Structure 1
């Protein structure tokens, strides 16, 4: 009958653990949730991750800016050693031509002398020696050969990969804070056992002292008590050291004030795991997959280096007085740039990026295998903690019944005070074992949720 009761209790805990409607985050202590939030805000790793994500966004904007027209204002002043002119023969030819045109307009014969009263225009310089220029240039890429497009896609996947890495880092940080917080709760739970042990030893010391006075005990018994008291003092010192170290660890992880952390009195309670039938992709896997896609698009970007690129070029001169006879005031043109051979550099870079994507694929498969194994281990550990909690609860039930029985016997002079203290000490130790089982259970729950990608906080 007793065995059936234990089996029923175990099944109850298993079913409750798998189908409880309360979520993991709802069962977390609000103080612990606040510490996790502060830890995430304080983490330098998370901050660096956010900065890297912003850099990836800027890379996207830089890639998109290729298609935005570039406008450049230019201004310059140049002084040559002399004006640039036609050679003397050309100047004579231009002057003779000017005379012929004037005589023809005046109706003079071809062989008639040129009239002296008609002025002639000097031949203009090709370029004056003082050159002042002010202009604007417009460069507009219409088609980048898919190079910019692939660069944008690669940057987007890189940003997603960095964001998933940040989420994974937050999960690791949350796990560390939860574990440290629970360890502090376990340390405080041990304080009760130490106090009970101290009271027990004080009672024993008083009993032995009276027994020695009445010749019922020897000094060796007293030395045994003194040794036990020294050992207890060592455990109390260890308790203080552990408390200080855990408070320092929480301070480092969260940035919370040490005085506030010393005021905390965390307690351990059983976690009831909600149904987690399906496994979500871990953030680490998502990060690797996005990094793989980023390298694939990076490889495509390198390959598209050989596709012709089309751009528009425009130029306008604000000052035309200083232009040479051959300089246009403005022009607009469309150009094509086709990189036919670049020394095989683009091909090698594309091949290198493709190999990098293969590395990410291998890492993904390796990570998935490790995660599958961790899920199995976490599930087994969780089931073991549930069973252990049931066993410890039965130990507490037995220790409680024993203490109540021995206490009644003592009141009826059927048992000594030492028997009562022994039973009370056993009860305190059993209660502490329950706290330890809760600690292990909470570790198993968090590890299982983390392994299945369902950790929320």
Structure 2
């Protein structure tokens, strides 16, 4: 009893999971998987992180910085001193410069320094650069829309190609069934002597040709499954279960204009960013203000301070021989030595470097404006071309639909005439081939109409998956 309950419980939880794993993925799942795996999209998203980093760097530019440095070493310094005039007559009289004295300081030195700086005012440059980066970021985000639309178009094309193969296979299967029925009729007619063996062989040849087409379409299907697997990473076993149907796309007139295209909107934000960049470069002539503070420590260890000559001259009259300096202090320290204040930097003349940077920013803006003008011309022509292609594709569907009806009626008539011995097998095979060709052309017309519809939606940045599937 417990074993049965355990089996029932496991089956209740496991079988739905297995069933889902073996279900055919819908278009949304294909698209979501492709968005995650698309290399161009990932590369563009990664590249955009550099702009985010630039934005963070600008935010942090007003943060204080603290730098600590130090050094230790051996100090040996000698200073030459020229004696001044000493007149203590009648005891001492030393004319100025009568002797030179070398003062030597040696020992192990240590120096430590801490510098703190904080930018108070950048002349407005940081403010404008921050706005320029924000505009650049919006431009890059908009271009991601264009890349996503390209992913949608690629997945949609592969999906529709799979649907075209699927529908074509159905057409070929129907032809195969009809030829099988007609072959049985031909077998009877051959037995009654109503047709020749040659006419009978023609039907067998038509069946062989049809089987070759089926093998060809199966190969194309495997190629498309491989393509979808590369795009999405979904296993072929699940992809093979997809049975899509081709349906024409019904579109109304575009609600937006070409101004809504990602390229145009991205360029507009780029031009705005260039305006801010020009304003930022103009600030070269405005003084920058900075808060600064420093703290020092200076130490001398194992020091010796000595002179080569007497620091107090000899006085023979009173029996004084003079004294040299030879001092050995334990250590000498200067702590703390602190400086703090506000400093400014004003580039009155910088060799026209600021002027050149400003002019470079202006030229960059002109380039973007020219690109926008060129893009508007090309996109206007592209919209007109895609609208024409869509109208032609709709007309082709209507034409192929009528041709299909005529071919069906012709095949019914040919089958009746062949059944009653009023026509040869060649006429029946011709009617069957005509219907097969027209039905395949109709499916191709639907496929082409869907491609034209997608490109028309992309012309005005109105690509909507809900209208496609």
Fold equivalence (TM over 0.5): yes
Instruction: After superposition, give the CA deviation of every residue in 1:344-392 in whole Å (9 maximum; x if it has no partner).
Output: 3333333233222222211111111222222222223333333444444
What pairs with 1:190-339 in structure 2 (closer than 5 Å)? 190-206=168-184, 216-218=194-196, 220-222=198-200, 224-273=202-251, 276-279=254-257, 281-317=260-296, 329-339=337-347
Please give the alpha-carbon distance, in whole angstroms, between the structure 1 residues aligned to 2:202 and 2:457.
48
Please give the alpha-carbon distance, in whole angstroms, between the structure 2 residues aligned to 1:227 and 1:406.
18
Partner of 2:324: none
- 1:177 is matched with which residue: 137, 143, 155? 155
Please give the alpha-carbon distance, in whole angstroms, between the structure 1 residues aligned to 2:182 and 2:378.
54
Partner of 1:9: none
Instruction: After superposition, give the CA deviation of every residue in 1:400-440 in whole Å (9 maximum; x if it has no partner).
Output: 66677888x68996988978888777666555444333323
Partner of 2:363: 355
Higher helix share: 1
TM-superposed CA distance for 1:54, in Å, is: 1.5
What pairs with 1:31-430 in structure 2 (closer than 5 Å)? 31-81=26-76, 129-206=107-184, 216-218=194-196, 220-222=198-200, 224-273=202-251, 276-279=254-257, 281-317=260-296, 329-396=337-404
The answer to whether the 8 A contact 2:76-2:106 is kept is no
Higher strand share: 2
Structure 2: which 5+ residue stretches go unaligned? Answer: 1-23, 87-102, 302-330
Please give the alpha-carbon distance, in whole angstroms, between the structure 1 residues aligned to 2:299 and 2:292.
20
TM-superposed CA distance for 1:137, in Å, is: 1.6
Please give the alpha-carbon distance, in whole angstroms, between the structure 1 residues aligned to 2:410 and 2:358.
76
For residue 333 of structure 1, give the secondary structure of its aligned residue in structure 2: strand
Which deviates the most, 296-305 or 439-448? 296-305
The answer to whether the 8 A contact 2:124-2:280 is kept is yes
Structure showing greater relative contact order (alpha-carbon pairs closer than 8 Å, 6 or more residues apart) = 1
Please give the alpha-carbon distance, in whole angstroms, between the structure 2 residues aligned to 1:157 and 1:239.
50
Instruction: After superposition, give the CA deviation of every residue in 1:314-366 in whole Å (9 maximum; x if it has no partner).
Output: 11246789998999721112222122333333333332332222222111111
TM-superposed CA distance for 1:171, in Å, is: 0.5
The answer to whether the 8 A contact 1:69-1:141 is kept is yes
Please give the alpha-carbon distance, in whole angstroms, between the structure 1 residues aligned to 2:35 and 2:116.
47
- 1:258 and 1:127, CA in 2 relative to 1: closer, same or farther beyond 3 A? farther
- 1:447 is matched with which residue: 451, 455, 460? 455
TM-superposed CA distance for 1:297, in Å, is: 3.1
Please give the alpha-carbon distance, in whole angstroms, between the structure 2 residues aligned to 1:61 and 1:351.
27
Instruction: After superposition, give the CA deviation of every residue in 1:29-78 in whole Å (9 maximum; x if it has no partner).
Output: 98112211111111121111111222101101112322211122334334
- 1:56 and 1:127, CA in 2 relative to 1: closer, same or farther beyond 3 A? farther
- 1:381 and 1:131, CA in 2 relative to 1: closer, same or farther beyond 3 A? same
Which deviates the most, 246-255 or 145-154? 145-154
For residue 379 of structure 2, give the secondary structure of its aligned residue in structure 1: helix
The answer to whether the 8 A contact 1:320-1:329 is kept is no
TM-superposed CA distance for 1:301, in Å, is: 3.2
Please give the alpha-carbon distance, in whole angstroms, between the structure 1 residues aligned to 2:269 and 2:150.
20
- 1:190 and 1:172, CA in 2 relative to 1: closer, same or farther beyond 3 A? same
Please give the alpha-carbon distance, in whole angstroms, between the structure 1 residues aligned to 2:149 and 2:263.
10
TM-superposed CA distance for 1:174, in Å, is: 0.6
The answer to whether the 8 A contact 1:36-1:174 is kept is yes
Please give the alpha-carbon distance, in whole angstroms, between the structure 1 residues aligned to 2:193 and 2:359.
93
TM-superposed CA distance for 1:230, in Å, is: 4.2
Which deviates the most, 53-62 or 392-401? 392-401
Please give the alpha-carbon distance, in whole angstroms, between the structure 2 residues aligned to 1:278 and 1:187.
34
For residue 336 of structure 1, give the secondary structure of its aligned residue in structure 2: strand
- How many aligned residue pairs are there? 398
Please give the alpha-carbon distance, in whole angstroms, between the structure 1 residues aligned to 2:225 and 2:189.
44
Please give the alpha-carbon distance, in whole angstroms, between the structure 2 residues aligned to 1:324 and 1:361.
68
When the two structures are superposed, what TM-score results if normalisation uses the length of structure 1? 0.73
Report the RMSD for the aligned CA atoms in angstroms. Answer: 4.1
When the two structures are superposed, what TM-score results if normalisation uses the length of structure 2? 0.71
Please give the alpha-carbon distance, in whole angstroms, between the structure 2 residues aligned to 1:133 and 1:287.
55
Please give the alpha-carbon distance, in whole angstroms, between the structure 2 residues aligned to 1:427 and 1:224.
17
For residue 260 of structure 2, give the secondary structure of its aligned residue in structure 1: coil
